[in-house]
Amino acid sequence: MNADTLTAQLAAPHPDGATIALFRTRAYRFSDDPRHYVLAEVLEEKHAQGVMPAPATMTYLKATLDQVRATGQLPPFNPQIADNEGIDIQLELDSRAAYAPRPLPAHNPTTTVFIVGAPRSGTSHLYNCLAYTGRYAYFTTASCWAWPVRNLTHPARHRFEDLDNQVLAVDNKNTRLVPGLVMPYESEDLYARAMPTYQHLGGHTYDLTRTRTADAALLTANIQAHCQHFARGAFLTKSPFNSLRIPQLEAVTGHRALYLHIVRDQAGTADSMRRNRFRFHHHGTPLTAEGAWELFTATADRDAPPERTLTVSHNELLNAPVQQIQHISRWITAAST
């Protein structure tokens, strides 16, 4: 796909392409079987080049997504689906071995910026606006924790920075479903493995638990790989769940990271959580949407170091985006020196 084709799909992603793209991101996040990843990647790359999966394959993908929504898990890998599509799973896995995460000290970021805030508070929009400036390396919709930048080198994939800035006005629910379009992404497939802080109960329902560091090296290697790929020294990343990981992020980054805490009013955020079916428990106890807002917001306020944190108003970002991004960029530059 070229840039014009990608732009045309922003308002209405192709249904089959959307299914494949969603299956891929869900496989990364909720399965430890890399055969799922390979199947999804090859199907998506073929789709971006105009080759459609068989109807039986699409039925399988849709059924798998339904199971993830219901149980939070993928079914066991079905090799027959790959065989029917002519995909040599082992050959594809072998070709990805060179992209496995590994230390790249020469590509440690000079500046690392974490965007935090409650879910549905504007973290994605702020992320997109800053990444669009071209100043940062970042995790993407095509990044995979197991081979961080392999997919970013594929000729069928194109960075959102190459599209008209109307891409910033489209809800991420659409942009992440366009095969071939590489958008900034929260990469919870990586963070959930490096610093688990919840149990996925299905759909958008999570039980928030005590955060622990399980694999700091995995996170570091993924950051370094993206800095190398983008050839940029500053790294930008976002996840609402990182609001609950700040002490662990501080330890990994040597207490040098910067934080952008975007805050949206409680009522608006809670309403958006309900409309988008985000539900949270805390150590097994269900939270109201308002209670979830309070937990994420208060934890970020408590744990983010004030001397390295800038609070961003969701309302001001929407009403004066150019001025706000300029203000934030100036703050990052000053705080980095």
**263-291: per-residue pLDDT in tens?**
999 999 999 999 999 999 999 999 999 99
**202 membership: H or E segment, kind and range:** strand 198-202
Q: How far is the C-alpha of 84 from the C-alpha of 257, rounded, in Å?
A: 47
pLDDT in tens, 60-113: 999 999 999 999 999 999 999 999 999 999 999 999 999 999 999 999 999 999
The domains located in the chain, with CATH, are: 3-98 (no CATH), 105-139+184-336 (3.40.50.300)
Per the DSSP assignment, residues forming a β-bridge with 263 are 313
CA distances from 62 to 179, 195, 289 (A): 16, 29, 29
State residue 258 phi and psi, 5-degree precision: -110, 150
Residue showing tokens 């919870």: 188
Higher pLDDT, 6 or 29: 29
Q: What is the pTM of this model?
A: 0.96
pLDDT in tens, 195-243: 999 999 999 999 999 999 999 999 999 999 999 999 999 999 999 999 9
What is the pairing mode between strands 279-282 and 285-286?
A: antiparallel
Q: Are 35 and 82 in contact (CB under 8 A)?
A: yes
Q: Are 236 and 136 in contact (CB under 8 A)?
A: yes
pLDDT of amino acid 27: 97
Q: Are 111 and 336 in contact (CB under 8 A)?
A: yes
